[in-house]
Amino acid sequence: MSQRLSVIMIAKNAADLLPDCLASVAWADEIVLLDSGSEDNTAEIARAAGVKVYTNTDWQGYGVQRQRAQSYATGDYVLMIDTDERITPELQKAIQGVLAAPQSGAVYSIARRNYFLGRFMRHSGWYPDRVMRLYERERYQYNDNLVHESLACDNAPVVALNGDLLHLTCRDFASFQRKQLNYATAWAQERHQRGKKATLTGIFTHTIGAFLKTLLLRGGVLDGKQGWLLAVVNAQYTFNKYTELWALSRGYSEKA
């Protein structure tokens, strides 16, 4: 007997992205969207498409918000996606194959193809960028991380699916930078709360390491101009993370 699929997403002010995302998963048994306080018509667009829409504005991080969203799902399996992601036909076919003949306890990894300034990257550590997004609803859920959350599925067998998940990571550079800065701040706050610290030496070694890793070890140079730019962006993001942690640990930030 084929398993029922719940597509789950969390969203805020995603009206421009949502229609294409929903179109790519319209074949699912149900779609659940948890809105965290949109000021645009995200919720209205979702409801018009038959999506089950819920709201929770008590933001406690990405991990907790995904847990809340999953609590509204009723399918046997969950496919967790973001509003800036799209399921390709090949990936849809692979997922439907899983639903027809699932492997008990397995989680399924999906190759994500990330878009950066006009190009879907093929290297730079941005492809295949496998993420675990398809899993049994009653067996697994996301961890509590404020940012860079992941599925809590230690020791579960992982099965790689065919097909790509398209991720519109960076369509607009300014918006992308703002998001990166928010991620860096959340990362630093989380580690500060756990008693972690950063040193000046660590800030610069991590920053330089991020640039070289992206450009050379991960083949960013093969992605042309975008590869070089992404190496700088990754270095900048790393610099922001560790500098914010350094500031927090010394009481130089109001977020301490």
- With contact defined as beta carbons under 8 Å apart, do 90 and 164 qualify? yes
Mean pLDDT of 201-212: 98
Q: Is 185 helix (H, G, I), strand (E, B) or coil?
A: helix
What's the CA gap between 168 and 187, in Å, rounded?
22
Distance between CA atoms of 124 and 210, rounded to whole angstroms? 11
> What mean pLDDT, rounded, does the chain reach?
96
Dihedral (Cα; 28, 32, 33, 34), 10-degree rounding: -160
- Alpha carbon dihedral 55, 58, 63, 68, in 10-degree steps, equals -40
Rounded Cα gap, residues 83 and 68, in angstroms: 17
Q: Cis omega before residue 102 (within 30°)?
A: no
CA count, 13 A, side-chain hemisphere, 165: 27
Residue 146: its pLDDT value, please? 87
pLDDT band at 147 (very low <50, low <70, confident <90, very high): confident
Write out the DSSP string of 218-250.
Answer: T-GGGGHHHHHHHHHHHHHHHHHHHHHHHHHHT
Identify the band that residue 1 occupies on the pLDDT scale cut at 50, 70 and 90. Answer: confident
* Residue bearing tokens 């989680």: 107
Share of the chain above pLDDT 90, in %: 95
pLDDT mean over 6-30: 97
CA–CA distance, 103 with 212 (Å, rounded to integer): 40
Predicted local distance difference test score (pLDDT) of residue 256: 42
CA separation, residue 93 to residues 44, 88, 100, 164, 172 (Å): 29, 9, 11, 11, 31
The stretch 25-43 carries a mean pLDDT of 98
For residues 158 and 151, what is the distance between their CA atoms, to the nearest angstrom?
A: 12
Residue range 153-199, pLDDT digits in tens: 999 999 999 999 999 999 889 999 999 999 999 999 999 999 999 99
pLDDT reading at 255 higher than 90: no
3-state SS assignment for residue 86: strand
Residue 79: strand pairing partners: 7, 134
- Of the pLDDT bands very low, low, confident and very high (cuts 50, 70, 90), residue 253 is confident
pLDDT 10s digits, 42-70: 999 999 999 999 999 999 999 999 999 99
Question: In this predicted structure, what is the pLDDT of residue 7?
Answer: 98
Cα(85)–Cα(18) distance, rounded to whole angstroms? 9
pLDDT band at 254 (very low <50, low <70, confident <90, very high): low
